[in-house]
Structure 1
């Protein structure tokens, strides 16, 4: 086979270009710590990294949603507990009616219940980040509207909120509403109305009227206990999802690192080997190309 005079320089140039390309790649990897700086470096691994990062981004959003939901439940539980405290005091007063000696004492309790009613109304209309806790997705900032007489006393309670609530995706396939259920919102309205009736019964000064309010007040208290229990169970469920999301987020970070990060020790060794090969190629080429036809005449 006939070898042309320029075949050696051409092969040499090609070899040096390949070595230069490898050194450039290894230098970039050691500088950035990344094995994949371009999808062409490892197409299949690049696709996996993109998928892992997409899942990681979704999990991060789920975690933020879960944190917000957890905050809403914490705020809702606190307000329901405040309302429950009013309920407990009202039921305590019912049990004390047998010891009440006259209408003056009943009037004093009626004044106390009227103050507790106003307090419970404030709790029921509580907001979290500008949104009512017990008003559903309705636009009303005060879902419980008080009807008052000429003296400013509450005579009735209307619920003007919505029966639907906002929902959050807190994990893959898990969408929850951290707000109080429509039934809880209605139960709160019923309790406030029961307080109105209880106050009026006390103001009447008739012991039988007061005792007649006991069943409704007890039912309201049971409903409030159920609401607190339901919110607690939902919060526990969300906290489990948050823990699982956190674990998966860390696992994905490790998988991305395994796929994309370079083994620095190995990359440095390869870079040194390529640099040595490059220098050897240059030295060899220098010795060969230094000869001419005249040297053999």
Structure 2
């Protein structure tokens, strides 16, 4: 086959174009830090990258859910700690009121006034909210446990149904604590105090009831603590899942800078050699042969 000057020139230009394209792709990879910047670069890598990206996003959403779980549990524990403080103070006042021989009418009125304030505080605690959700109202998170308009604690199946938050595929953690009955019983105890103060009797039985409710509060807090421990384990698991998913995505998409820089330097050297050879090929003319 006869090789003409035109064929040599066309081959040289085609090789130069390929060399430019290769260097352009390597420079783009260094600029973006990604192996592929459009689906046509490598469809397989792009599809895998989408899958890894979805996994990372899913784990990040579960981590946000874990933040809500911790808010619920921490707020519930803090609120029940407040209930415990109310009961301890109530016990102190009941013990003082039981000493009928040393208590004056003024003292009893003062105790009654403080008891009323403790009762109001208890009702406020029963309506504790996280964001816009009442955490002690079961599945009825939009309604307070204590209705200030009726002066009554709400009751019903909805107020004992649990609230759960998804923290992993197919794994839900219970964040609500069923204390509606306990709050109502404590509030009823406060309702009996007024008559006791008037007669000075019945405080011994009240103290026994307070101790029983303190045990209930401790039991509920222990349950919250157990769920908090599980939430911590799930948090650690999610961190491991996030690290694994991001590592897989990085291995699939991110460039190896050292290798890419080496490839670019090599491509530049080859490109210069191609230009040098091309200059020699294009240089000869008819006058050069006649010399």
What band does the TM-score fall into relative to the shorter chain? 0.7 to 0.9
Match of 1:78 in 2: 78
| Alignment size in residue pairs | 286
Match of 2:169 in 1: 172
Distance in 2, Cα, partners of 1:33 & 1:81 = 52
Distance in 1, Cα, partners of 2:261 & 2:82 = 65
Match of 1:211 in 2: 204
- Deviation track 1:200-225 (CA, whole Å, cap 9, x = no partner) reads 34234253x33334454333222211
Match of 1:239 in 2: 232
User: What secondary structure, in the 3-state scheme, does the structure 2 residue paired with 1:41 have?
Assistant: coil
TM-score, reference length from structure 2? 0.83
User: What secondary structure, in the 3-state scheme, does the structure 2 residue paired with 1:138 have?
Assistant: coil
User: How do residues 93-242 of structure 1 correspond to structure 2 at under 5 angstroms?
Assistant: 93-94=93-94, 99-101=99-101, 104=105, 108-138=110-140, 141-145=143-147, 157-159=152-154, 162-163=158-159, 164-181=161-178, 184-197=179-192, 199-207=193-201, 209-242=202-235
TM-score, reference length from structure 1? 0.82
Distance in 2, Cα, partners of 1:158 & 1:296 = 110
Match of 1:280 in 2: 273
- Deviation track 1:61-86 (CA, whole Å, cap 9, x = no partner) reads 11111112212221221111111111
* 8 Å Cα contact 1:100/1:106 also seen in 2: no
* 8 Å Cα contact 1:126/1:133 also seen in 2: yes
Distance in 1, Cα, partners of 2:2 & 2:46 = 45
Distance in 2, Cα, partners of 1:187 & 1:258 = 54
User: How do residues 20-99 of structure 1 correspond to structure 2 at under 5 angstroms?
Assistant: 20-94=20-94, 99=99
Residues 15-24 or 43-52, more deviating: 43-52
* 8 Å Cα contact 1:146/1:157 also seen in 2: yes
Q: Which of residues 253, 263, 282 is equivalent to 2:246?
A: 253
- Deviation track 1:226-268 (CA, whole Å, cap 9, x = no partner) reads 1111112212221222232223323333332222222222222
Distance in 1, Cα, partners of 2:46 & 2:149 = 65
- Seen in structure 2, the aligned counterparts of structure 1 residues 258 and 113 have a Cα distance that, compared at 3 Å, is same
* 8 Å Cα contact 2:136/2:145 also seen in 1: yes
Q: Which of residues 236, 254, 259 is equivalent to 1:266?
A: 259
* 8 Å Cα contact 1:144/1:160 also seen in 2: no
Match of 2:7 in 1: 7
- Deviation track 1:126-172 (CA, whole Å, cap 9, x = no partner) reads 22223222123426543213688xxxxxxx73325842354322233
- Seen in structure 2, the aligned counterparts of structure 1 residues 201 and 218 have a Cα distance that, compared at 3 Å, is farther
Residues 237-246 or 248-257, more deviating: 248-257
User: What secondary structure, in the 3-state scheme, does the structure 1 residue paired with 2:40 have?
Assistant: helix
